[in-house]
Structure 1
Amino acid sequence: MFERFYPSMSWSAHQAHWPHAAHSRFVQAGGIQWHVQSLGQGPGLLLLHGTGSGNFSWRGLLPTLAEHFTVVAPDLPGHAFTSRGPEGALSLPGMAEGLRALLLQLKLTPQVIVGHSAGAAIAAHMALHFDSASRSTLIGLNPAWLPLPGLASWLFGPAAKLAALNPLSAWATAKMAAKPGAVADWLSRTGSALDAQGLDLYTRVLSDSGHVHGVLSMMAAWRLKPLAARLHEIRQPVFMHIGAQDETVPPALAHQACARLPRAALQIQDGLGHLAHEQDPEGTAAYILRCASL
């Protein structure tokens, strides 16, 4: 209903500033126009970013990972340059189905799936429901596999639903994000501090009302309880890389998730927050490569 009021971001307006833009392409699959970056050779590795971000989140890891894998990094539906898609496409099952269609279109079966935050939830859902992902190694970076406690749970539910239904909410939020220092302040509340390029990229997406409306709609549709109840069914190796200063997904939730997963290993990184992979891309890439070789 809101697609014409809140279109996806304009690629032509941002292409010159986008990391690895030479590797970008647009792919139609599952009723969604996907913005995808693909580079490298070898076994498939799928990168799934978190809520509110985009595939630019992997900018520091892509060159290293591409030395060993065929890396595919899409913008999730409703985020950045990827369209919202059909009804239900922004829910957890809907995003997973959309990604299955994308992978079929790309003829890629990922050996490794790396997800950050909500992206890790999508990876776990895929492992539970799709045979093509049931043998993939799963790597969760500050994964959001369990319902968030307190206020965060409310923001991902009723509050987000009300905001998504209000046609002015995304516009007002984008206006706020465009103010100097606003995005830096928001990101600091995740426990992470980013460099100038990171701040610029997040400012670009969060000051775009189409992106913001997609984010709010995703948050309104998100349900983690069914996934949490089935984590014990995931039988493949699962690795978790956690920033100790994460103020978005508390590290205690990672320990709880680890206890539910039959073959899980957890590593805590001191001094890093929710965007640990953007703060320390070299260390995160090295961790992914170690896990992928086990």
Structure 2
Amino acid sequence: MGDRPTWDREGRDWPNREHSRFVTAAGLRWHVQIAGDGPDLLLIHGTAAATHSWRDLLPLLARRFRVVALDLPGHGFTDLPSTSRLTLPAMAQSVAALLQTLNVHPVLAAGHSAGAAILLRMALDGRIAPEAVVSLNGALIPFAEKHAAFFSKAARMLVTLPFVPSLMAWRASNRAVAERLLRDTGSRIDARGVDLYARLIRHSDHVAAALGMMANWDLVPLLRDLPRLRCRLVLVVGASDRTIPPAQAEKVRARLPSARIVTLPGLGHLAHEERPQVVADLLLDIHAQARPAPALDEAS
């Protein structure tokens, strides 16, 4: 039987809890945070994270946008679906159903790591039409071909063994495990952030969702379709990222020459958690650049 975080226990002091709500869509009960007024801005976290990843960024953005952040299927406080629904197209479809239920139409969408791939799949499939998709250390390139099949098969095997998520969650119950995993990303985040990650990864359902994504993720079709992207793509890269090699951004731009690369010196895979003000300012700048200049008779 699965073990998932509960709102009364793990969510008791959840960041931005006052903006949380639970919504049913696509057959799942989702944890969603909505804050601020203005045009819609969508935030999607990466594998093994949750809305806490935006804990300091969300309030900054809510000054200018209606910010919508969600826990992906199986992550945080959102229901865990069947493994078959953890593919990239299926997750994009599920998130789109949630947005439809919420009547959310993002003018700007930012995704961290695997979250960037979900946003791009949604944009390519016509499920969202933002001014720009911002990839924050996006996981957009598959493993090297000679290793891809091995990792996919290994992850698929692990996720089908019922004791594996429980075993991994048990090992992660030691806070030092979470500290080491986060340190390996090349980022240094605050103690509260470490505690929140540790709080989640000690639960087998949360771990099973991360493993299920690894087992079912196929980025080859996404890269094939990328030249069809109609909105702008901004690739934000932490220069010290140890999870996604910074050089991968150039490979993405080779598929879509119009993509813009922005490098953040000294920051790692969790750059938006290390320096939320820097990322907030960047998102505001991207939004400002997308807006048309005022007509002459409107200018003052």
TM-score of the alignment, normalized to the shorter chain, above 0.5: yes
Quickly say closer, same or farther: Cα 1:210–1:152, change in 2 above 3 A. Answer: farther
Say whether 1:72 aligns with 2:76: no
CA shift digits 1:66-110 (9 cap, x unpaired): 011111100000101001235632110111000111011001111
The equivalent residue for 1:129 is 125
Deviation (angstroms), 1:205: 0.7
Identity in percent: 42
Aligned amino acid, residue 161 of structure 2: N
Give the C-alpha shift of residue 187 in structure 1: 1.1
1:148 and 2:143 equivalent?
yes
Is contact 2:109-2:133 (8 Å) kept? yes
CA distance in 1, matches of 2:97, 2:106: 13
- Distance in 1 between residues matched to 2:283 and 2:84, nearest whole Å: 31
Q: How many correspondences in the alignment? A: 289
Cα pair 1:36 1:74 within 8 Å, conserved: yes
| 1:157 match | 152
Bigger Rg over Cα: 2
Residues in 2 aligned to 1:155 and 1:63: alpha-carbon distance in whole angstroms: 41
1:209 — aligned with what?
204
d(CA) in 1 for partners of 2:279 and 2:150? 29
1:263 offset after TM fit, Å? Answer: 2.6
Report the RMSD for the aligned CA atoms in angstroms: 1.6
Matched residue type, 2:98: L
Task: For 2:243, give the aligned amino acid.
Answer: T
For 2:148 and 2:162, the matched residues in 1 are separated by 22
Structure 1 position 30 matched with structure 2 position 26? yes
Q: 1:177·1:183 contact (CA, 8 Å) conserved in 2?
A: yes
Instruction: Tell me, yes or no, if structure 1 residue 287 matches structure 2 residue 253.
Output: no
Supply the distance in 1 between the matched residues of 2:110 and 2:202 (Cα, whole angstroms).
27
Larger CA deviation: 207-216 vs 44-53: 207-216
The answer (yes or no) to whether the contact 2:22–2:31 under 8 Å persists in 1 is yes
Q: Deviations over 1:42-84 (max 9, x none)?
A: 1111100000100110011011100111111000001010012
Quote the offset at 1:151 in angstroms. 9.3
Which residue number corresponds to residue 185 of structure 1?
180
Match of 1:9 among 5, 9, 19: 5
For residue 267 of structure 1, what is the aligned residue in structure 2? Answer: 262
Alignment CA distance shift 1:71-1:196 (3 Å): same
Contact 1:234/1:262 (8 A) holds in 2:
no
How big is each residue's C-alpha offset from its partner over 1:213-236, in whole Å with a ceiling of 9 and x where there is no partner?
Answer: 111112111111110111111121
Contact 1:7 1:83 in 2 (8 A): no
Distance 2:159 2:94 in 1: 21
Find out whether 1:42 has 2:38 as its counterpart: yes
Q: Distance in 2 between matches of 1:220 and 1:6?
A: 18
**Which portions of structure 1, spanning 4 or more consecutive aligned residues, are displaced by more than 6 angstroms?**
none
Pairing partner for 1:117 from 113, 117, 120:
113
Deviation, 1:17, is 2.3
**2:239 equivalent in structure 1:** 244
Unaligned runs of 5+ in 1: none
Alpha-carbon spacing, 1:152–1:286, altered in 2? closer, same or farther (3 Å): farther
Q: What is the alpha-carbon distance in structure 2 between the residues aligned to residue 150 and residue 175 of structure 1? A: 32
Contact 1:47 1:113 survives alignment (8 Å): yes
Q: Which amino acid aligns with 1:158?
A: K
- The residue type equivalent to 1:192 in the other structure is S
**Which range moved further: 8-17 or 191-200?**
8-17
- Structure 2: stretches of 5+ with no match in the other structure: 290-300
CA contact (8 A) 1:32 1:83 kept: yes
State TM-score, norm by structure 1: 0.94
Cα 1:95–1:215 change in 2 (3 A) is same
- State the 1:172 CA deviation: 0.8
Question: Structure 1's 186 and 155: CA in aligned 2 closer, same or farther, altered over 3 A?
Answer: farther
Q: Taking structure 1 as reference, are residues 271 and 111 closer, same or farther at Cα in structure 2, changes over 3 Å only?
A: same
Distance 2:62 2:146 in 1: 39
1:152 positional shift: 7.7
